Amino acid sequence: MSGLATEHKAVNLGQGFPDFPMSPDLISLVNDAMRNNFNQYPPMPGWLPLRESIAEKIELLYEAKVNPDTEITITPGGTYAIYSSLTAILNPGDEVIVFEPAYDSYIPNVEINGAKAITIDLVFPEYKIDWVAVKNAVNPRTKAILINSPHNPTGSVIGPDDISHLRSIVEGTNIFIVSDEVYEHLIFDQIPHQSILRYPDLLERSFVCFSFGKTYNCTGWKLGYCVAPAPLTKEFRKVHQFNAFSCFTPTQVALAEFLKNKDEYLNLAAFMQKKKDYFRELMQQTRFTMHQSYGSYFICGSYERISDESDKDLAIRITKEFGVASIPVSAFYHNGKDDKVLRFCFSKKKESLDMAVERLMRV
């Protein structure tokens, strides 16, 4: 859809990236790191001062003590962290419970390891987890449950009740948890983020994956990290060592310092919520019925008042004829399940959102 957007000079509300500048202070810190000759390989697990800054942030936010030396690994992006987590634990024939609609790397990551994704649909239109279905899906082959909150593509979030259900299902089993939390700071309405890092009994069986790109509006940096207990981190690093080995040094050096400015991540939710609320209000002028979004870069909209086309056909037509790109949510289901919903990215400058809605009013 991004390629189609470029071809037709459309406003790209499809792919999840900001079109506004990142922090000039962070850019300056990267420049300083390069000028100060931090340009060679860092340690394989990542620049230690950065891991120490992450550990401090985790303790501040989630009251969890994480060892920066043995429990944090810097990765080339959150997607890579998810892949490496799954690769560290999966064997052929294993099963992984995946909730759909799902971020598009999950099922390929499972299948490339010879394992099988057991998909469970989130309950439409709230996109909540059906925990009865999860319990019924668990069997001796279940190796892991993959969760994502705040959720891409829907903007739903898990709450304390979800954590209780998850805890009861995995208790007394050898099931691992892979938790995709790349949007941890993009959660709205002052809802507390239910990070797995808050729960020691869950963390001891978990890989928790994060992204600096989503936190600091620099998605092209492809820099993230994985937090896991020492025995799991040891296995994770066996994959990492012989895959990427290490990540771009200057950004790690810069982020080690930048993370000390807590307001940069503590204020992010309010900043992005203004964009979400602004876009949602604008979209009332269109014939889309907008869903709720409690986190992430994304909000979904149903189009029952517009067309009975498939979501893919409508998304392509709107891009070509009206100049606004979105993503059909059926693309996030392995079987193409079509609830007639499009996903829009609101992490854009005001001018982009204004132009997009002006065009969508004509759909």
Q: Which residue has the tokens 């949510």?
A: 329
Distances from the Cα of 328 to the Cα of 52, 152, 293, 318, angstroms:
40, 13, 16, 11
Residue type, 125: P
Residue-wise pLDDT for 223-242, tens only, equals 999 999 999 999 999 999 99
Q: Are 240 and 73 in contact (CB under 8 A)?
A: yes
Which residue do the tokens 């890579």 mark? 80
pLDDT at 128: 98
Q: Compute how many other C-beta atoms are within 10 angstroms of the C-beta atom of residue 219.
A: 21
pLDDT for the residue numbered 66: 98
- What pLDDT does residue 132 have? 98
Structural domains in the chain, sorted by start = 2-16+266-360 (3.90.1150.10), 24-261 (3.40.640.10)
Of 325, 329, 321, whose CA–CA distance to 352 is shortest?
325
pLDDT at 53 (0 to 100): 98
CA distances from 351 to 188, 321, 327, 354 (A): 22, 20, 20, 5
Ranges of the chain with pLDDT below 70:
none
> Where does 41-193 have alpha helices with state H?
48-62, 78-89, 106-111, 131-137, 160-170
Report strand pairing: 324-325 vs 224-227. Answer: unpaired
What is the overall mean pLDDT for the chain? 97
Q: Which of 69, 272, 11, 285 is nearest to 155 (CA)?
A: 272
Can you give the pLDDT at residue 73?
98
Q: What is the pLDDT of residue 288?
A: 98
Classify residue 93 by burial, with Cβ atoms within 10 Å: 0-12, 13-18, 19+: exposed
pLDDT score at 177: 98
280 contacts 298 by C-beta, under 8 angstroms:
no
CA distance 363 to 348: 21
d(CA 322, CA 308): 18
> Which pLDDT score, from 0 to 100, does residue 315 have?
98
Whether the Cβ atoms of residue 239 and residue 90 lie closer than 8 Å to each other = no
Taken as a whole, the chain contains a residue count of 363
**pTM score above 0.85:** yes
Torsion of CA 121, 125, 129, 132, to 10 degrees: -80
